[in-house]
Amino acid sequence: MATNETELECEVAALYTAHARELHRFAALTLHQQDGASDAVQEAFLRYFAERKCGGTIENPRAWLYRVLHNYLLDRQARASVKREVAAEEMVEPLDEANNPEARVARSQAARQIAEDLTGREFECLLLRAEGLSYEEMATALGIRSGTVGALLARVRRKLLDVKGDHGAVRMGIAEALGSLLHEGGSYPS
């Protein structure tokens, strides 16, 4: 616990170093733009600083930051009434299979199917799990119980297993499916 402002600044700097990239990735995937993601992450860390400066105790800073970021993004989207779509040309292609057209087509088809099948909450769980958050951290970030997180991830797994056959996504793991979805484009589920 920081006892003075200098210690608090060091605490926030250490948290920023440890978690800013993953928070930025989460925000960018949710908003589908880099600029807004940077602003959202800055806002989350600013709110953390303010909470701690006012004497607030935060037991799990990573989960707290995800929750604040998640709520900020929801508020921002509600205010802007933004349709959440990602254009394929905005996505980064994976380097290892970038020159394999058949693999790209298969991943693209699988990504579209996954995007169509997942609800918004399921997609958020998938993103957070791909970032390595525990069930408890995900529950805190989304404002739900950890049992609900487990149920949502079970549904995601079932849906991912259903994306198969011609789509080349037979029995994909969560991380691979998320990678396909993010690298090939698709719509963020509503």
Nearest to 184 by CA among 110, 100, 102: 110
CB atoms within 10 A of CB 64: 20
54-86 pLDDT, tens digit each: 889 999 999 999 999 999 988 887 776 534 444
Q: Which two tokens stand for residue 96?
A: 């290892």
Torsion angle, alpha carbons of 96, 118, 90, 173, to 10: -10
Q: Which two tokens stand for residue 184?
A: 């090939």
Q: Which helix (H) or strand (E) holds 86?
A: strand 85-86
Given a contact cutoff of 8 angstroms between Cβ atoms, the answer to whether 183 and 94 are in contact is: yes
Confidence of residue 20 (pLDDT cuts 50, 70, 90): very high
- pLDDT at residue 46, as a whole number: 92
Domains and CATH numbers, the chain: 5-80 (1.10.1740), 96-187 (1.10.10.10)
- pLDDT at residue 4, as a whole number: 81
Nearest to 63 by CA among 121, 134, 129: 134
Confidence of residue 180 (pLDDT cuts 50, 70, 90): low
- pLDDT at residue 82, as a whole number: 38
| DSSP state string for 140-170 | HHHTS-HHHHHHHHHHHHHHHHHS-GGGS-T
pTM: 0.58
